[in-house]
A and B are shown apart, each in its own frame.
Chain A
């Protein structure tokens, strides 16, 4: 059975890699299997994790015997979960054309709550902490800073300042403002270049993993 699984895995791996040549029936087969199985897999995972694992077990917790032999809930039921379940059911109302508009309520709830929650999170992490991390001394007169520290601090301050100017939408990028924005976009592009190289290297490890599988586990050419 293990050998069959190994051959199926190798067949599917090579089928997906064959896309590098061109679209072909082998890739189409593998793609259909991948998409179909993953869709089914996630349906089952979400059903058991959310509907059963969170909602059902949360509202109707399993019973257990207490010290005096009575059958009691193992944990306190969380009836707030019913609100989520009701919103979920409302979402299905779109299947009934006459009352399909009701499905917009849970959507509005989700988008509104998400926006509100993330406003605070992003304001703290993407604004406050970033500004705090950018405000730093540029000279070593009052601090023990090495030359490298000073150069690093200057790059961070200028890079952040000009990068922020690039994302200022209320003024045309002309004159000194435009030049500052250009410095900002150059800073961003240099960062992207470094990130690109770093990520490509990490992607190589994924390729190495598949090649190792094909030549090692499957063909046995690598020990």
Chain B
């Protein structure tokens, strides 16, 4: 009995497979089922299968060019078949005709959009979308067939001036710059702008004075990064003020650097500072000198100089990495008064631990305004403070709105890459 059932069921399954094969052969006749050849080359007339429709092609918006977006409507697969994915075919326009279509992209089932990011802005293109159908054939083997859409309209890509998805950044920057310009104009008009005391900066004069009293050098280390780092720029700005005080007190200032551009900039700044206080003769070209670009070579060189020359004061102002503790601890071991400033979050703990004063993060950038008291710098600092006040207010409002489920206020600050 069982044997008969098994035979009957196997016969039934075999018959069903033959029927399904015949169904495919009759209904999907024009399709190719060859398994050996690569699928993209089997593009054949696919009238019985539903191809993708409504092929829409357009230049991808808000980009720098070189990209076209293709959208289509997914077809309804015939019974017994499933959509496995899609091939995107592209042909360059030759006059008003299209050239040969080649596969330029592939998506999985459920997709109805693809971004072709490999196009040239000056050329025109045509697109077709081929759907990949699959079905289970005889012996359980999967068979595939393609059905191609019609040819799209001609399209080309281009670059856009504005990325409208980032309009919030644009508006924010405009407001921030507006505040800064407003406060700069106020500062220039002679209005007194208040800035609170920054402990590390109050100590600059004291530190230079100490070196003068001890008759020892001052070292200024502007970090290990180049002039394309804002922290280095902030560091060398503070260097100007330190050089002025050092020149006034006739204390020798030494600035070992690790980048050629920093060397040039630091030399200019120190030279100018010495001239500003009427001591151009006290400036020596080799006060600012190059060591090496290598991070730890630079640290080893400074360590050696520090333990041999025992400067009274060391400034670390700029961007630092793993060399921060090596430098600060060496300075600490010889008893130098050390003032550090960096915006590197991972290195700040080491400076806090090993230095007498540390300018944390934005204090480094505020330092130049605080020290110089120039209208432009003071105005920019006040403008930034207005920006911070708006952020504080936004956080309070946003947290309340989100907590009570009124509105996703945080979406205003979303930035797309």
A139 touches B391 (CB 8 A): no
Known: A107-B265, A135-B410, A141-B404. A34 touches B296 (CB 8 A): yes
Q: Which B residues from 312 to 353 make CB contacts under 8 A with A? A: 322, 325, 345-346, 348-350, 352-353
Number of chain B residues whose Cβ lies closer than 8 Å to a Cβ of chain A: 72
Instruction: Decide yes or no whether A132 CB sits under 8 A from chain B.
Output: yes
A38 touches B385 (CB 8 A): no
- Mark contacts of B362-403 with chain A using CB atoms, 8 A cut-off: 1 yes-contact digit, 0 otherwise: 110010001000000000011001011101101110110011
The minimal Cβ–Cβ distance linking A204 to chain B, given in whole angstroms, is 13
Q: For the complex, what is the distance from the CA of A103 to the CA of B265, rounded to whole Å?
A: 10
**What residues of A have a CB within 8 angstroms of the CB of B381 in the complex?**
169
Q: For the complex, what is the distance from the CA of A39 to the CA of B292, rounded to whole Å?
A: 4
**What residues of A have a CB within 8 angstroms of the CB of B292 in the complex?**
35-36, 38-39, 42
Query: Closest A-chain residue to B384, C-beta based?
Result: A169
Q: For the complex, what is the distance from the CA of A27 to the CA of B304, rounded to whole Å?
A: 8
A39 touches B391 (CB 8 A): no
B293 touches A38 (CB 8 A): yes
Instruction: Decide yes or no whether A104 CB sits under 8 A from chain B.
Output: yes
Instruction: Decide yes or no whether B44 CB sits under 8 A from chain A.
Output: no
B230 touches A35 (CB 8 A): no
Instruction: Decide yes or no whether B205 CB sits under 8 A from chain A.
Output: no
Q: Which of A59-67, A77-85, A159-167, A214-222 makes up part of the contact surface?
A: A159-167
- Mark contacts of A141-155 with chain B using CB atoms, 8 A cut-off: 1 yes-contact digit, 0 otherwise: 111000000000000
A161 touches B395 (CB 8 A): yes
Interface of A is mostly: helix
Known: A34-B297, A38-B294, A172-B196. A118 touches B382 (CB 8 A): no
The minimal Cβ–Cβ distance linking A195 to chain B, given in whole angstroms, is 5
The minimal Cβ–Cβ distance linking A109 to chain B, given in whole angstroms, is 11
**What residues of A have a CB within 8 angstroms of the CB of B261 in the complex?**
91, 107, 110
The minimal Cβ–Cβ distance linking B59 to chain A, given in whole angstroms, is 23
16 contacting pairs across A/B (C-beta < 8 A):
A16-B300, A35-B291, A46-B293, A103-B264, A107-B261, A111-B227, A118-B230, A120-B173, A123-B172, A124-B169, A131-B391, A135-B395, A137-B399, A164-B392, A192-B352, A196-B353
B→A interface (CB under 8 Å): 166, 168-169, 172-173, 176, 193-196, 198, 227-230, 233, 261, 264-265, 268, 290-294, 296-298, 300-301, 303-304, 307-308, 322, 325, 345-346, 348-350, 352-353, 360-363, 366, 370, 381-382, 385, 387-389, 391-392, 394-396, 398-399, 402-405, 409-411, 413-415
A→B interface (CB under 8 Å): 16, 19, 22-23, 27-28, 30-31, 34-39, 41-42, 46, 91, 94, 103-104, 107, 110-111, 114-115, 118-120, 122-125, 127-129, 131-139, 141-143, 157, 160-161, 164-165, 167-173, 188-189, 191-193, 195-196, 199, 203
Report, nearest first, the 9 A-B pairs whose CB atoms are least far apart.
A142-B405, A38-B294, A135-B398, A38-B297, A42-B293, A196-B349, A132-B413, A192-B349, A135-B410
